[in-house]
Chain A
Amino acid sequence: MDFPSVSLGPPIAKRLSRLDVQIEANRCLNCYDAPCTRACPTAIDVPRFIGRIATGDLAGSARTIMDANPVGASCARVCPTDQLCEGACVYNADENPIRIGDLQRFATDWAIRENAVLFTAGPPTGKRVAVIGSGPAGLAAARELARAGHAVTIFERDPAPGGLDTYGIVPFRLPAEIALWEAEQVRALGVEIRTGVAVGRDVEPATLLAEYDAVMIAIGMGAVPRLGIEGEDAAGVWDALDFIRVAKCGGDVGTLGERVAVIGGGNTAIDAATCSRRLALRQAQGDTSVTMYYRRGAERMTAYDFEIEFAQVEGVEFRTFVVPKRILVENGRVAGLELLATDPAGSARPLAGTECVVAADTVILAIGQQRHVALLDAFGVMHDVNGIATVDETMRTNVPRVYAAGDCTFQPGGIDAMVVEAAQRGKVAARNIDLLLRTEPR
């Protein structure tokens, strides 16, 4: 797959030395009914994959990881491990958990480097499944359906597969080649990935419903919504996801100027902020300051703690309890930001008469994402007022033979909204689609 290799500086994840790997892998106690495995949404058998590293069975280790988690290489870079596997490690009593994420990266890096063939497609069932979207949930579902022997077609509107992992996470946290390798693993099972094809634009939902035995909707989320304030159309105002996407694809984001303002407190806001810092360093613009403006206290930010710490290390500044009132524009370009203070109790309600102005040359909005409501409606899939698809515990929607998983089913700001959780829901959907196709042929 042709994709520019943009790194924007050294990766966040440090590569373990061979000595570290040996020490760390041998330090694992091989717990029974291990808490790390219980804490993993995809239930990776952590002691098993670590034990296989310790004995030099890297193929077995990588297979253990990727079997449970089809995007296990990406998760080894983006998972909040301190809240999941490593947070549950029995060594936490000594505050010295096994470096599970680093070991997972070691094993999956090996598989990538060695071009290891980890899985094969199942004997053909003659059933066809359409998967819409090739992000974590879509890839996971497609991989599991292909292993079950079903013929799977993924419809992906972007030029390259991988969804959020390929386009929406800064390259120094998750290089595009990792997500693309995971997509290639799925393609190698015979899954057809039709990139550049948008369902609803290039293919009608009705066509999919007619031609496939089941449809899986894994369409993620859309653009960042507008703030609805003055100056939003000026040059230098960015949707954070567009900004990250352009940067990750090696495109030109233009001159950032001396001050970048990022609005928001989630992981995407952090990514936009750290990405700005590194781009500014590369543009050699002197000392470009990057400030995140958040409407509540820092403790309410939805970004992971380790992301916030990383941003601090990268030199991002934080200003809390403020919301933008308008964007100041000069000569058609951003010149500053007028802010309002918010209720110190944390309700995010702006307080009248507290206006202040800060200079800004670039404003990046990361205040959540819109939903692809129109596409859900086109399928007749029920959703709530926020546009979040309604599914049961089998990931089934109200429409027969239509399932949904991933971000399009997660409530905003929830702990669910993780790559690893999307992968797990994709697996669950695939398992239930497989069951449906075997027990209730169309």
Chain B
Amino acid sequence: MADLSIDLGGIRSPNPFWLASAPPTNSGYQVMRAFAAGWGGAVWKTLALEPIVNVTSRFAGQNIGSYRMAGMNNIELITDRPLDENLREIAECKAAYPDRAIIVSLMTECTRESWHELVRRCETVPVDGFELNFGCPHGMSERGQGAAVGQDPELVELITRWVKEAAHVPVIVKLTPNITDIRYTARAAAKGGADAISLINTLNSLMGVDLDTWLPIPHVDGKSSHGGFCGPSVKPIALNMVGACAKDAQVGIPISGIGGIADWRDAVEFMLMGSTSVQVCTAVMHHGFRIVADMIDGLNNYLDARGIASVREIVGKTVPRFVDWNDLNLDYKVVARIDPESCIRCNKCYIACEDAAHQCIDRPADPRLAPVVDEEHCVGCNLCQMVCPVVDCIEMVRVDAGDTVHTWREKLPSVP
């Protein structure tokens, strides 16, 4: 059994799996159930000095084929329950599970007094850290909060500084992805004294339009507004942003990764890209808290199989390989090879290459025979392998000599 415990900027938890600030952490009842299931930490659904009013309906799912909720969007706001009630439940959860991390997500109006008051009141109960919600893209942003703050590096730095003045526990700044370059707000958080950053919050989204009623989805009495998109579909965006922050020297603080993490493999990827902890929401909304047992089991077996003693050892290990395009080796060449034994003759590789890539897969005249790659013209784009429904049927094989490296950067030394 590997050591799964982590320490994110001073916040310790027995495993790296935290619940993100979201509907699953809305109440003490839920967080108790989550901790009983094995979650290492929970970021409590965002607290404010005064509760807000929520609307119905609130969520919508993106279904792809038979797969439900490849993504989801929501127009729910922060907690709609009184602060004192939340704080009492936080204290109960902490008393019942003292080894788990309870991080309280915070949002309030953009004044020093307001933030100090919120921190002071929340520290009347034992919390392990704060997460500043600078990310929610809907609703609260129209009130000058959430993403409205998170899109402005100066405000991010200022408010982080205010909170750090008052807080006695570590402070995480949660970043919005609805921004051109997330490194600027990440750097601002670091400059403001944040102990860590978490990313990504949800992406601006409209889930759909009902084909029969022509109403937006989800709708509230016939109208809708943009919501926040999350779930498996956003993972590549989140992973890129985590990697961008992890390799940026001016950020330089630990990361809690968020965005489409649904199983232990996603978690490992986020950790390799620089996340110390990972936060999960959509997968729990899809399947319940019990999934954490599989995440812990999978991560443990993965580490054990590689003789890695502690999960902390993998954090950031892939970051050095996440470089500028200019530093990629132009001499490297792979080509596709199709295994005729496992090929099922669906011809998806053929038509993908023929219509959308480089016309270098040939079909024998006899349709019973497998397609064949014209290796001389194959550019190694991976498309055929991507569309192939059979695992390991198409292999990308290295065909260059492997002894030279040439990059675009050296061709154009003026490129910074």
**Residue ranges of A at the interface with B (Cβ–Cβ < 8 Å):** 22-23, 26-27, 29-35, 38, 54, 90-91, 93
Contacts and interface: CB of A to CB of B under 8 A. Distances in A.
B36 interface: no
Nearest to B388: A29
Interface in B341-390: 344-348, 350-351, 363, 367, 389
B222 interface: no
B66 A22 contact: yes
B344 A93 contact: yes
Contact of A35 (B345, B350, B389): B345
A438 B344 CA distance: 44
Given A29-B389, A33-B367, A38-B367, A90 B65 contact: no
A3 B300 CA distance: 69
A32 B66 contact: no
B contact residues, range: 10 to 19
B65 A54 contact: yes
B367 A35 contact: yes
Contacts, number: 32
B347 A33 contact: yes
A27 B66 contact: yes
A270 to B, nearest CB: 32
B347 A31 contact: yes
B351 A32 contact: yes
Given A26-B65, A27-B66, A32 B346 contact: yes
B371 to A, nearest CB: 10
A23 B65 CA distance: 8
Nearest to A56: B211
A32 B345 CA distance: 9
Nearest to B211: A56
Contacts of A26: 65-66
Interface string B320-351: 00000000000000000000000011111011
Nearest to B347: A32
A38 B346 CA distance: 12
Nearest to B65: A26
A91 B65 CA distance: 18
Contact of A31 (B65, B66, B346, B363): B346
A258 to B, nearest CB: 51
B367 A31 contact: no
Contacts of B66: 22-23, 26-27
Listed residue (A27, A35, A91) with the most chain B CB atoms within 10 angstroms of its CB? A35
Interface in B24-82: 65-66
The list of the 3 closest CB pairs from A to B, nearest first, reads A32-B351, A26-B65, A32-B347
B68 to A, nearest CB: 11
Contacts of B351: 32
A54 B344 CA distance: 23
Contacts of A22: 66
- Residue among A29, A31, A32, A91 having the largest count of chain B Cβ atoms under 10 Å: A32
20 contacts: A22-B66, A23-B66, A26-B66, A29-B348, A30-B348, A31-B345, A31-B346, A31-B348, A32-B346, A32-B347, A32-B348, A32-B351, A33-B367, A34-B347, A35-B345, A35-B367, A38-B367, A90-B344, A90-B345, A93-B344
Nearest to A38: B367
Contacts of A35: 345, 367
A29 B65 CA distance: 11
A35 B351 CA distance: 14
A31 B345 CA distance: 8
